[in-house]
Amino acid sequence: MKLKKLGNTELALTSIGIGTSVMGGTGWEFSFGPQDDTDCISAIHSALDHGINWIDTAAVYGLGHAEEIVAKALKGRSPRPFVFTKCGIVWDRQGRTRNSLKAGSIRQELESSLHRLNTDAIDLYQIHWPIPDGEIEKAWTEVARLQEEGKVRYIGLSNFNVMQMERAHRIVPITSLQTQYSILARQAEVGVLPFAQQNNIGVIAYAPMGSGLLTGGLTRDEIAKFSVGDFRRRMSNFREPRLSLNLEIAETLRTIGGRYGRTAGEVAIAWVLRNPAVTGTVVGVKNRVEVAGVMGALEFRLAEVEAAEIEQAAKRSLLRRIIVRVTEVARDLRAPAKAYSPSRERRIRDSK
């Protein structure tokens, strides 16, 4: 199995890593709805048995629950995969989250993550969001200090733009950037991915299957039945008029995959991995069936003709997407002004 080094580290990663946001279950802002912990643990075991050698999680996923699931799944496992987690979002006793990049908060978050993950050191510790922007430098300095102390092996960023990365990079070199990247979300191609490639920053792409839209397995009826707690019910990509455009892309991927006995999701992942700036991609799974539906992407790669076919499908819907976006902007301009809040900013960005 081909491995790729992550940025300036000695970590040689498989092209796919296990994503755990879905394993967080209910009770937090970006929940995918109720999950079965036993199924989630079984999914991790299955993925590791297929050769995957890294897991990505975050303290906020399920308000600590996803990290606990990872610890249970890895108990007694050998060899142990690399474990990555994130900081920068904290919560109160009522489960209400807020962004914090204060040094003391980050240090406390790390200690809590170490406890939940039942480990002495984190392989890659990432600042989850660059919010508040004014605290980036102090936060990055503190994360670097934790690395010097041996509590984390490597340090990275998540959801940062180029200017924010430049500010951090002047303090301590960035190991990696985690960014959303898929056929449906290509903003990173302008600026972020080129900057990472030029500065030897590893790139971990998340949501390569568009939070499930590009798996080929989601229908309108299934989307309509999403649980009340599933955050995707709030995302414009899962509502008309964008939904039809997205399902058309998924059908193109399903057709291409069918020629090789691959799923639409595996084709979507292969498309992401074609970009030379990408080190690997996080793939969220919650049971063994979902693992089986993506493991082919460890080896499957798109030929130029299939990549061109996907680009043509994307271009066919581009004008319609522009019209949709213009309509949305016009609607927002007519709407009453709303007070700013970091959590609302995240919701808006995640829904686009």
Question: Which residue numbers are catalytic?
Answer: 61
- Report whether 123 contacts 153 (CB < 8 A): yes
Smallest Cα–Cα separation from 126: which of 282, 297, 285, 295? 282
Alpha helices in 218-303 (DSSP H): 220-224, 242-258, 264-273, 288-292
Q: Report the 10 Å Cβ neighbour count for 311.
A: 12
CA separation for the pair 255, 267 (Å, rounded): 10
Q: What are phi and psi of 183, to 5 degrees?
A: -60, -30
User: Would you call 313 helix, strand, or coil by DSSP?
Assistant: helix
Residues with Cβ < 8 Å from 229, sequence gap 6 or more?
A: 26, 27, 31, 33, 34
CA separation for the pair 350, 337 (Å, rounded): 20
E strands in the chain? 4-5, 12-13, 16-19, 54-56, 82-87, 89-91, 97-99, 122-127, 152-158, 176-180, 202-206, 280-284
- Report whether 58 contacts 84 (CB < 8 A): no
DSSP code of residue 285: -
- Report whether 286 contacts 31 (CB < 8 A): no
Among left, alpha and beta (phi > 0; psi -120 to 50; other), residue 261 is: left
DSSP bridge pairs for 312: none
**Side chain identity at residue 252, one-letter code:** T
Whose structure tokens read 């959590």?
343
CA separation for the pair 213, 208 (Å, rounded): 10
